[in-house]
Structure 1
Amino acid sequence: MQSSQAPSEGVILDDIDARPGSTASLLRTFIGLYLRRLDGWISASDLVRFAGRLGIPPAQARTGFTRLKQKGLLLAAREGGIGYRLNPAAIPMLERGDRRIFDVRQMAIGDPWCLLSFSIPETRRDLRHRLRRRLQWIGCGMVSPALWICPGYLQDEVEDILAELDARESATLFRTQTPQVAGSLATAVAGWWDLTALRAEHELFQESIVALPDAVSEPFAAYVRLIDAWRVLPYRDPGLPAQLLPPDWPGQRSFDAHARLSAQLAAPAWDFVRATVGLSAD
């Protein structure tokens, strides 16, 4: 195997800026879903073919592949033909994503919380910005600019972020059962998280599934677009206790819709991928 590009060093591979439904996001979703199951390599022609089933023209798809190489997700690799190999450095990020996307967790009243306090000097304000951005991305709430909170089950992800940013020595983590606040905990939660924006993301997801391709004739396109629309939500929404959220909170409807459609589409979508690349049955 010959690769024209070495694995990226020190690059955060999570393309969190890709807008769901965009070329970059759809290709990223396809790669996350299937490239590991295809032994990490796919021919350029097959990748263009799959992109076409997602409504992406060939020239636009090739530009997308180039951008994913630049992000460090793909490596150009000739293995019996021109193609792409998954960057080994991206696998931990994809595995973390799998746990979030396919194993949705819900916090209950009485479960532990994790608090993160950090002190980063003004000379490293770029690090402060990146840390806050990453904490917000995984669903943490902001108590104050240097104090963040999340369900206890996200502590490992917080630790990973601190390690990746080389910020562990600047931070202290605490575990607590119930934060003691002046008013109600529900009111505090509404201040720590932007529930209005989070509600809008749930509503956008629910609107997007109405426009999915036909599940019978296009299960592959329907499934990839479903996961593409969904995969941001389990990060943005940390799974806060229902008792601390507004009574008409749309989260459960989103979770139920994703679970129902995934159960319907995942197997026929994989059958299509396997048949397209000529892979024998598992």
Structure 2
Amino acid sequence: MRSKAAEPADRDTGDVFGTVSEERFVLSRRYAMGAGGVRGLLITVLGEYVRPTRQAAPTSAFIDVLGRLGVDEWACRQALMRASKDEWLLSKREGRYTWWRLSPALGRYLEHGAERIFGFTATQPRWDRRWLQVLARVPETNRAARHLLRTRMQWMSFGNPAPGIWVTTRTDRIKEAELALDEAGVREQAQIFLCEHVGGGDLPVLVRQAWNLDEISQAYEEFVAEFSSPSSSDPIVRVTRMVHAWRVLSRLDPALPVELLPEGWIGIRAAKLFQRQRARWEPAATREWARISREAR
């Protein structure tokens, strides 16, 4: 690869996150990466039903919906309280009901998340054939930093073709890479480059060294098998499950340019299925959420 020193990305870096620091959202394991568990499901519910209306919802609505997804009442209440403690949700007591609304910071975060999830096509639509490369070696004795850096870089679509080398076709993620290096405590020893591939081995070989495409393909196969037909007669269950699964896939898949993917990449078919089924199923789920929320009024 031919390299030059990285330059600042040309993108809006306005005050998206309000008074809550951007790092807490970008790098938070609990929210930005916590797709699994009760908190992950809560974020999916907030993003799918509360975000579009920006209206407060009662505790009973969350208990009802998460209960349909197999979460008991105690775990639901705990997730709401933790979200409130972290300033993601704001609560208000009215009579015997507690109502929850998004904090301004979480509202903005969920809007950005919605753009990513609902606009995710399993490929990178435009690529100027440049790569963002990070050289960062962490001592084997510092296992915590090694794990943290790997987790953060993978979440940001970086692949790891060789020890200490991270690459991505997303050249606008310089700032995020710097934050990850800062958190791992290795920024001063790292180097960041913008690169072009000009020769050497075949790029498909590099891609398979950097990313586990077989694992990603298998995840897409499972998604297509599960959601090609309704997975539940309950509209809110089938939509929430599908959106949650797609949210996980959008984190797992680096969404590489088409020219770097195997021919007939299943991710493209899965993305079309997601868009088609959500358009069919979402209206009924939204009506069901509205009904559940109204019952507390």
Fold match by TM threshold 0.5: yes
Residue equivalent to 1:229: 245
* Deviation, structure 1 residue 236: 1.6
Change (3 A) 1:193 1:181: farther
Residue equivalent to 1:16: 33
Residue equivalent to 1:83: 99
Equivalent position to 2:131, from 113, 123, 128 = 113
Change (3 A) 1:171 1:208: farther
Greater relative contact order (Cα < 8 A, sep 6+): 2
Determine if contact 2:219/2:249 at 8 Å carries over to the other structure.
Answer: yes
Determine if contact 1:213/1:219 at 8 Å carries over to the other structure.
Answer: no
Structure 1 stretches (4+) deviating beyond 6 angstroms? Answer: 7-10, 121-124
Structure 1 portions without partners, runs of 5+? 1-6
Structure 2 portions without partners, runs of 5+? 1-19
Distance in 2 between residues matched to 1:195 and 1:243, nearest whole Å:
14
> Identical aligned pairs, as a percentage?
29
Change (3 A) 1:100 1:75: closer
Distance in 1 between residues matched to 2:43 and 2:255, nearest whole Å:
24
How large is the Cα RMSD of the aligned pairs? 3.4
Residue equivalent to 2:54: 39
* Deviation, structure 1 residue 29: 0.7
Residues 14-163 of structure 1: pairs in structure 2 closer than 5 A: 14=31, 16-19=33-36, 22-39=37-54, 41-66=56-81, 68-69=83-84, 72=86, 74-75=88-89, 77-80=91-94, 81-104=97-120, 106-107=123-124, 110-118=128-136, 126-152=144-170, 155-156=172-173, 158-163=174-179
Distance in 1 between residues matched to 2:47 and 2:198, nearest whole Å:
40
Instruction: State the Cα deviation string for residues 226-246 of structure 1 (Å, max 9, x = none).
Output: 101110112221222333333
Residues 126-275 of structure 1: pairs in structure 2 closer than 5 A: 126-152=144-170, 155-156=172-173, 158-163=174-179, 166=182, 169-177=188-196, 179-180=197-198, 182-210=200-228, 212-214=230-232, 218-275=234-291
Instruction: Give the aligned residue type for 1:205.
Output: F
TM-score by length of 2: 0.73
Distance in 2 between residues matched to 1:111 and 1:73, nearest whole Å:
40
Distance in 2 between residues matched to 1:255 and 1:266, nearest whole Å:
16
